[in-house]
Amino acid sequence: MDPMDSLARVLLPLPVVLPLFGAGLTLALARRPNAQRAISVTVLSVVVAAAVTLLVLTDSGRGTYSVDVGGWPPLLGIPLVADRLSTLMLVVSSVVTLAVLLYSLAQGIADGEEGAPVSIYHPTYLVLSAGVSNAFLSGDLFNLYVGFEVLLAASYILLTLGGTKARVRAGTTYVVVSLLSSLVFLTAIALVYMATGTVNMAELALRLPQVDPDVQLVLHLLLLVGFGIKAAVFPLSAWLPDSYPTAPAPVTAVFAGLLTKVGVYAVIRTETLLFPGVGGVNRLLLWVSLATMVVGILGAVAQSDVKRLLSFTLVSHIGYMVFGVALGSAAGLSGAVFYVAHHITVQTTLFLVTGLVERHSGSTNLDHLGSLAKRAPLLAVLFFVPALNLAGIPPFSGFLGKLALLQAGVDAGTWEAHVLVAGGVVVSLLTLYAIAKVWNRAFWQEPPAPGDLPEGAADRAGTGGATGRSGGTALEERTSVPRGMVAPTAALVAVGAAITVVAGPLFGVSDRAADDLLERTPYTSTVLHERVPEVPR
Amino acid sequence: MSPNITLVVVSGVLVAAGVSLLLERTLTRVLVGITLLSNGVNVLFLVASGPPGGAPIVGRTPIGEMSDPLPQAMVLTAIVITLGMVAFVLALSYRSWQLNGHDEVQDDVEDRRIVRRADRDQASASYDDESRDDGTTAGERTGPGRAGRSAASAGDPDAPPLADALRPDDSEAVGG
């Protein structure tokens, strides 16, 4: 076995196992916050390093690596699979997770951490990270379900952290909707097993084509509904803008960046590996993606709270990714993969900056904000760059991603694709409008006169305080934002901007990932150990 | 493989009952609905495991007569996961009862505010500076805008059907 192969096999389980191990350790050390912090940061840093190495290995090496967990042969045991798509997702998600952890640490230290159940924050956060990694790496449909459940269970706890009224209200909806989506997914797994006798995704790719086409369609749509709820695709997206904004800023940031993208990742796998090239479903997905884009952004335009506005843009931009997947072409998939990588970074950054604004001014409601460009120029810069990036202004990566998707749409040539291209442009413009509204009102415009602000309004940050405590000190802290919170945010802004610089190589990776996805044999033959001669690229 | 029709019917009835309970507004009923629904899906896994057979242990049962162990393993995992989730939802509904005196699932306050504005054909707060003090974070504080809004909802015969169910939340906002 060549050294790269064995290295990949060692690294592959790490992103799942290490955070789980760290979670146990931090839970045991619940009374020692410093040890908890050190463990969390170390674990997630190692995961970032492992993910980056894996990406380099898969992209320069054989393209796909798989590990049979526990040494069971592939059809009996559970394989973990790393290909270009999953490792790219892993790299972006682990970088974002680490940055948000550092941010939340600084916030926690600054807030004094009294009274809040922080001892469970670290274990839960690490479990969330393990669940996300497991979902990305799983080569088994049931293990994918377990990965989803792990990350969802952690997300329930993070979302209702502190158990305040607003969070319990938002958490209720979120938990029930997520449970329902999991049950739909579980039903799909039971039916898939009935139809094929396996839940190994590589084996499914070979066996599903032999199943009756009507049964295939039922399985396909069931899986898509389950993943669609998680990805917040339009008719199934109403839960997202309701629940996300109430959570603490770092939690919202990591949810917005990662959780929906895990759903999108699962949709990509379903559409390429399990049920490739089903014309009718692709057309359905095209229209669904248009509806997601338009409805999401129209919702964003109507909001006056920055967190809610951003949650709606999040829904809207999921539409772009689904658009790329629905095109079914290599160019479309490549654009979608690039867009996911771009969007995870940018959306998380924007939520983190909103957290900083909340910290600085005590509110995220546009009615309370103003003159931030003058009072906090650094915040203004930190907001401005990712905001333009999200709206797709050249030369940022949002522009490149949208360009790739629109080009793929034009290349597809059907009239539906052209409608989608037009829709994509309009939605991009409306995103700019929504973002410009935030910029104008929060950063440029004069703040409301002090008389307008009722007593203590500063801590009513739209839908919840920054940390779940009644931030009564917000007024005094108006100008002091901890440097530890600014630094990770600035780092993520830089990462978002750097995506533009490395766009060439990144598109190279996403192109090759898309080719692999469409070809399918690299995945199936690696997982099932049918070694094929390496094709030089 | 011919599926066991009794199990299919049982699964169908459980799922149907679960869905109907899920549509309730009380969280405890929703919880019972989720439990029934998940049991329905679990029974579906029993259907997937095919005809009953002996314990799948080499040496005890001849290979042809073994039952399929994989769906049983999956169903066990699913049951354990559901148990954890049910415990969490139970805690959540208890907390909701602690905070509000009921465990009804409430609507999104901000969303409702925007719907009301649309009903009254009013511009968004974020659109017009003049309307600034009108709709500041409804449900979060009792401001000058509150009285007008409550009056509008109380006196509006065309209020959306969900308005009734929202009342508890409204009073919470006024009280808070």
Q: How far is CA A78 from the centre of its chain?
A: 24
Closest listed residue to residue A13, CA positions, set A80, A61, A58: A80
Residue A513 has pLDDT above 70, yes or no: yes
Which secondary-structure segment (H or E) carries A74? Answer: none
- The verdict on a CB contact (< 8 Å) between B114 and A149 is no
Name the residue of chain A whose CA is nearest to B44's CA.
Answer: A190
Residue scoring higher pLDDT (A475 or A1) = A1
Determine the average pLDDT of the residues in B124-137. Answer: 47
Q: What is the pLDDT of residues A318-337, one digit of tens each?
A: 999 999 999 888 899 999 99
- Binned at pLDDT 50, 70 and 90, residue A297 comes out as very high
Residue A364 has pLDDT above 70, yes or no: yes
Residue B93 has pLDDT above 90, yes or no: no
Determine the average pLDDT of the residues in A297-326. Answer: 90
Lowest pLDDT segment from A75-79, A207-211, A220-224, A405-409? A75-79
What's the one-letter identity of residue A20?
L
- Separation in Å, CA of A512 to nearest CA in chain B: 34
Taking only residues 62 to 101 of chain B, the set having a beta carbon closer than 8 angstroms to any beta carbon of chain A reads 70-71, 74, 77-78, 81, 84-85, 88-89, 92-93, 95-96, 99-100
Lowest pLDDT segment from A47-61, A262-276, A477-491? A477-491
Name the residue of chain A whose CA is nearest to B27's CA.
Answer: A172
Other Cβ atoms less than 10 A from the Cβ of A264: the count is 27
Residue A137 has pLDDT above 60, yes or no: yes
DSSP A447: P
Residue of B30, B35, B37, B110 to mutate when probing chain A, most A C-beta within 10 A: B110
Residue A156 forms contact with B (CB below 8 Å): yes
Residue B134 has pLDDT above 50, yes or no: no
Determine the average pLDDT of the residues in A387-400. Answer: 88
pTM of the model: 0.84
Partners of A81 in the β-ladder: A66
pLDDT above 70 as % of chain B:
68
Residue scoring higher pLDDT (A467 or A526) = A526
Closest listed residue to residue A226, CA positions, set A273, A290, A168, A269: A269
Burial profile A458-488: b = 16 or more Cβ within 10 angstroms, e = fewer: bbbbbbbbbbbbebeebeebeeebbebbbeb
Per-residue model confidence (pLDDT) at position B147: 38
Residue A455 has pLDDT above 60, yes or no: no
Determine the average pLDDT of the residues in A269-290. Answer: 88
C-alpha dihedral (A220, A225, A226, A229), degrees to nearest 10: 150
Per-residue model confidence (pLDDT) at position B141: 39
For chain A, the average pLDDT equals 84
Residue A260 forms contact with B (CB below 8 Å): no
Q: What are phi and psi of B104, to 5 degrees?
A: -80, 140
Q: Which residues contact A84 (CB under 8 A, 6 or more apart)?
A: A55, A58, A59, A63, A64, A509, A510, A512, A513, A516
Determine the average pLDDT of the residues in A154-178. Answer: 86
Residue A407 has pLDDT above 80, yes or no: yes
- Binned at pLDDT 50, 70 and 90, residue A67 comes out as confident
Taking only residues 78 to 97 of chain A, the set having a beta carbon closer than 8 angstroms to any beta carbon of chain B reads none
Per-residue model confidence (pLDDT) at position A449: 62
Per-residue model confidence (pLDDT) at position A374: 77
Q: B108: which chain A residues are within 8 Å (Cβ-Cβ)?
A: 170, 173, 241-242
Residue A163 CB-density burial (10 A; 0-12 exposed, 13-18 middle, 19+ buried) = middle
* CA–CA gap between residue A153 and residue B106 (Å, rounded): 22
Per-residue model confidence (pLDDT) at position A370: 74
- The verdict on a CB contact (< 8 Å) between B34 and A183 is yes
Q: Please tell me which of A159-163, A479-483, B86-90 the model is most confident about, judged by mean pLDDT.
A: B86-90
Residue scoring higher pLDDT (A133 or A469) = A133
Per-residue model confidence (pLDDT) at position B151: 38
Taking only residues 460 to 489 of chain A, the set having a beta carbon closer than 8 angstroms to any beta carbon of chain B reads 460, 462-463
Q: Say what angle helices A141-159 and B69-100 make with each other, to 10 degrees.
A: 10
Lowest pLDDT segment from A203-217, A267-281, A340-354, B115-129? B115-129
- Binned at pLDDT 50, 70 and 90, residue A1 comes out as low
- Binned at pLDDT 50, 70 and 90, residue A356 comes out as confident
- Separation in Å, CA of B157 to nearest CA in chain A: 25
Residue B126 forms contact with A (CB below 8 Å): yes
Residue A505 has pLDDT above 50, yes or no: yes
Q: A304: which chain B residues are within 8 Å (Cβ-Cβ)?
A: 124-126, 135
Partners of B58 in the β-ladder: B61
Per-residue model confidence (pLDDT) at position A457: 43
* CA–CA gap between residue B67 and residue A275 (Å, rounded): 29
Per-residue model confidence (pLDDT) at position B100: 83
Residue A367 has pLDDT above 60, yes or no: yes
- The verdict on a CB contact (< 8 Å) between A173 and B105 is yes
Q: Please tell me which of A92-96, A302-306, B53-57 the model is most confident about, judged by mean pLDDT.
A: A92-96
Lowest pLDDT segment from A224-233, A363-372, B1-10? A363-372
Per-residue model confidence (pLDDT) at position B125: 54
Per-residue model confidence (pLDDT) at position A264: 93
Residue A365 has pLDDT above 60, yes or no: yes
Residue B165 forms contact with A (CB below 8 Å): no
Residue scoring higher pLDDT (A60 or B13) = B13
Other Cβ atoms less than 10 A from the Cβ of A276: the count is 16
Per-residue model confidence (pLDDT) at position A482: 78
Residue B53 forms contact with A (CB below 8 Å): no
Residue A534 has pLDDT above 60, yes or no: no
What's the one-letter identity of residue B84?
G
Residue B12 has pLDDT above 90, yes or no: yes
The two structure tokens encoding residue A71: 């040494």
Q: Say what angle helices A397-412 and A503-519 make with each other, to 10 degrees.
A: 40
* CA–CA gap between residue B28 and residue B105 (Å, rounded): 10
* CA–CA gap between residue A406 and residue A424 (Å, rounded): 7
Closest listed residue to residue A114, CA positions, set A471, A363, A521, A502: A471
Answer yes or no: is the ipTM higher than 0.85. Answer: no
- Separation in Å, CA of B75 to nearest CA in chain A: 9
Determine the average pLDDT of the residues in B62-68. Answer: 82
- Binned at pLDDT 50, 70 and 90, residue A475 comes out as very low
Residue scoring higher pLDDT (A74 or B22) = B22
Residue A537 has pLDDT above 60, yes or no: no
Residue A186 forms contact with B (CB below 8 Å): yes
